[in-house]
């Protein structure tokens, strides 16, 4: 037999296997900042093993049926696709609803992880971890999604633009659980094009830099919506709003996109690390941003 | 810090144990069950050496607590041998096509390949690369790993004829 005691990497904690969301929010309230939710564990487990996280209580939400699934619901401004927090990334990749209703997410999720991590990793976990280079948060921001959070005090919705506060920091409070993420579906009668591009060291790894774009055109070819999000080139995934505003409301010509690329670099404050320096990230963000916008435009024109 | 009782199946055998919740599934398999075929590489979900099948799908066992495996059926590389303990189809193919150098990544590679071939006995090169994309071989012996999986797939197809 191999060693046992010495192989305990994580610090001691109490473990609760929750059966309902009520049980989770009660335990989070009781935990008073020292309790943490585990979903797929793909980012929390390393933090526990390295003792970067030392919670007193770990609340397991994997067996809560109401936290799993993908469905279409009606909302105030039309239909939305609701992805429950503990839905596996593998289930999202295989989902017909996502393939047909959320083309940008379908494209982005193909870049998420490897089969072993997608089989455990969850959509809500990725949004809760909020790595600035990760694909699901970037896509949610670019698609104007929002998350639903719950604590013992009640439920609140937070738009993605207000949700990401910094690297691995979000608006979710310690006593809240992320219940679901809500993506608006495209309006009928609108021609939509989307594109997702990233540079990573190895397919399936976190992006060094990623770009996500959505363009909507009306019948006359006028752009009614332009969204460009960049990941991995700032502390949070970022929308390039000045460029979006410049391109919205007229006919977009590819030269106009090229002329506006300076807006991308100006909007970002990348850091450098062992994977890439700040100047490289800024340059790649502009290249991928242009590529994503051109591809989204071409797709919208064909639609 | 209360211990928890878990009941699960490992390679077809029913197991019941009382464990500390902080014990990782890899350490449970190796330390408590003596199943040292599941290797510990990076221990933070990057290398894939600790891959096992959880209810038939591949996962990284270092990224799961043993307590979370309660009620599940696990397959480790030891579970892929033939009934008499001799190498199974994939293990024999890795031997015959020299699909390893130091052998450290091999159990994870075999688990990923098993998950691929169970649904598809004629995978494309891209599908094989995608299946082992989460397994790192630091000897960089990927070509022969791929050839081993192709050999196993061709033997599977022959067996089905």
- Cβ–Cβ contact B35 with A under 8 A: no
What pLDDT, on a 0 to 100 scale, did the predictor assign at position A140? Answer: 98
- The answer to whether the CB of A261 falls within 8 A of the CB of A293 is no
State what percent of residues in chain A have pLDDT above 90.
88
Confidence of residue B160 (pLDDT cuts 50, 70, 90): confident
CA B64 vs. chain centroid, Å, equals 14
- A199-232 pLDDT, tens per residue? 998 888 889 999 999 999 999 999 999 999 999 9
Question: How big is the A-B interface in CB pairs under 8 Å?
Answer: 114
Predicted-complex ipTM score: 0.95
Cβ-count burial A220-239 (b if 16+ within 10 Å, e if not): eeebebbbbbbbbbbbbbbb
With H, G, I as helix, E, B as strand and everything else as coil, classify residue A214: strand
User: With 50 as the cut, is the pLDDT of residue A92 above it?
Assistant: yes
Confidence of residue A1 (pLDDT cuts 50, 70, 90): very low
- The answer to whether the CB of A288 falls within 8 A of the CB of A211 is yes
Kindly state the helix (H) or strand (E) to which residue A303 belongs, with its residue range. none
User: With 70 as the cut, is the pLDDT of residue A5 above it?
Assistant: no
Taking contacts as CB-CB distances below 8 angstroms, the residues of chain B near A42 are: 45, 60, 63
Bigger pLDDT: B51 vs A275: B51
Q: How far is B94 from chain A (nearest CA, A)?
A: 21
Architecture (CATH level 2) of domain B89-160? Orthogonal Bundle (1.10)
Structure tokens at A105: 């997410």
The DSSP string of B113-133 is: HHHHHTT-SS--HHHHHHHTT
User: With 70 as the cut, is the pLDDT of residue A2 above it?
Assistant: no
User: With 90 as the cut, is the pLDDT of residue A78 above it?
Assistant: no
What pLDDT, on a 0 to 100 scale, did the predictor assign at position A203? Answer: 81
Structure tokens at A279: 């100047």
User: With 90 as the cut, is the pLDDT of residue A88 above it?
Assistant: yes
Give the mean model confidence (pLDDT) for residues B40-65.
96
What pLDDT, on a 0 to 100 scale, did the predictor assign at position A296? Answer: 98
Structural domains present in chain A:
12-60 (3.30.43.10), 65-183 (3.30.465.10), 191-302 (3.30.390.50)
Give the mean model confidence (pLDDT) for residues A85-112.
97
Domain boundaries, chain B: 4-80, 89-160
Of A3, A10, A46, the CB nearest to B45: A46
Report the residue of chain A nearest B48, measured CA to CA. Answer: A116
User: With 50 as the cut, is the pLDDT of residue B40 above it?
Assistant: yes
What pLDDT, on a 0 to 100 scale, did the predictor assign at position B1? Answer: 75
What pLDDT, on a 0 to 100 scale, did the predictor assign at position A63? Answer: 97
Tokens 């990923």 identify what position? B112
- B93-142 pLDDT, tens per residue? 999 999 999 999 999 999 999 999 999 999 999 999 999 999 999 999 99
Pick the CATH number of B4-80 from 3.40.190.10, 3.40.50.620, 3.10.20.30, 1.25.40.10: 3.10.20.30
What pLDDT, on a 0 to 100 scale, did the predictor assign at position A75? Answer: 85
What pLDDT, on a 0 to 100 scale, did the predictor assign at position A6? Answer: 54
Give the mean model confidence (pLDDT) for residues A32-49.
96
Cβ-Cβ contacts under 8 Å for A169 (sequence gap 6 or more):
A130
Q: How far is A210 from chain B (nearest CA, A)?
A: 19
What pLDDT, on a 0 to 100 scale, did the predictor assign at position A7? Answer: 63
Residue among B4, B59, B109, B112 with most chain A CBs within 10 A, to mutate: B59
Q: How far is B72 from chain A (nearest CA, A)?
A: 12
Bigger pLDDT: A256 vs B97: B97
- Between the alpha carbon of residue A31 and those of residues A28, A56, A60, A134, B21, the distances in Å are 5, 8, 14, 29, 17
Taking contacts as CB-CB distances below 8 angstroms, the residues of chain B near A90 are: 57
Confidence of residue A134 (pLDDT cuts 50, 70, 90): very high
Name the average pLDDT for chain B: 96
């Amino acid at each position: 037999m191999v060693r046992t005691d010495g192989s305990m990497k994580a610090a001691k904690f109490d473990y609760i296997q929750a059966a309902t969301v009520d049980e989770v929010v009660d335990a989070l309230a009781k935990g008073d900042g020292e309790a943490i939710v585990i979903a797929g564990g793909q980012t929390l487990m390393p933090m526990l093993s390295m003792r970067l996280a030392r919670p007193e209580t770990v609340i397991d939400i994997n067996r809560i049926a109401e936290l799993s699934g993908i469905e279409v619901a009606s909302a105030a401004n039309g239909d939305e696709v609701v992805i429950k927090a503990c839905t596996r990334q593998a289930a999202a990749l295989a989902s017909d609803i996502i393939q047909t209703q959320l083309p940008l997410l379908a494209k982005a999720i193909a870049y998420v992880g490897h089969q072993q991590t997608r089989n455990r990793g969850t959509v809500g976990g990725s949004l809760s971890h909020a790595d600035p280079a990760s694909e699901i948060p970037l896509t949610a921001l670019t698609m104007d999604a929002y998350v639903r959070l719950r604590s013992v005090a009640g439920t609140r919705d937070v738009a993605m633009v207000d949700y990401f506060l910094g690297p691995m920091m979000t608006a979710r409070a310690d006593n809240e659980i992320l219940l679901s993420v809500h993506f608006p579906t495209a309006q009928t009668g609108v021609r939509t094009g989307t594109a997702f591009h990233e540079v990573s060291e190895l397919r399936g790894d976190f992006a060094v830099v990623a770009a996500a774009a959505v363009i909507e055109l009306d019948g006359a070819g006028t752009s009614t919506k332009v969204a460009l999000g960049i990941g991995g080139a700032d502390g949070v995934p970022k929308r390039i709003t000045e460029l979006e505003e410049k391109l919205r409301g007229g006919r977009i010509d590819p030269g106009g996109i090229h002329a506006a690329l300076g807006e991308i670099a100006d909007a970002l404050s990348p850091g450098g690390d062992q994977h890439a320096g700040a100047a490289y990230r800024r340059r790649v963000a502009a290249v991928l941003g242009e590529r994503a916008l051109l591809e989204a435009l071409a797709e919208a024109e064909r639609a | 810090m209360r211990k928890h009782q878990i009941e699960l199946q490992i390679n077809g055998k029913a197991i019941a144990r009382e464990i500390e919740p902080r014990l990782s599934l890899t350490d449970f398999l190796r330390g408590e069950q003596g199943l040292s075929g599941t290797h510990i590489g990076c221990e933070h979900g990057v290398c894939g050496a600790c891959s096992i099948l959880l209810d038939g799908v591949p996962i990284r066992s270092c990224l799961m607590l043993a307590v979370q495996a309660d009620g599940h059926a696990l397959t480790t590389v030891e579970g892929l041998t033939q009934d008499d303990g001799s190498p199974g189809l994939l293990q024999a193919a890795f031997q015959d096509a020299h699909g390893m150098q130091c052998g450290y990544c091999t159990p994870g590679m075999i688990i990923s390949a098993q998950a691929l071939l169970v649904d598809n006995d004629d995978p494309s090169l891209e599908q094989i690369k995608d299946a082992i994309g989460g397994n790192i071989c630091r000897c960089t012996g990927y070509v022969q790993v791929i050839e081993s999986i192709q050999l196993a797939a061709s033997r599977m197809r022959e067996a089905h004829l």
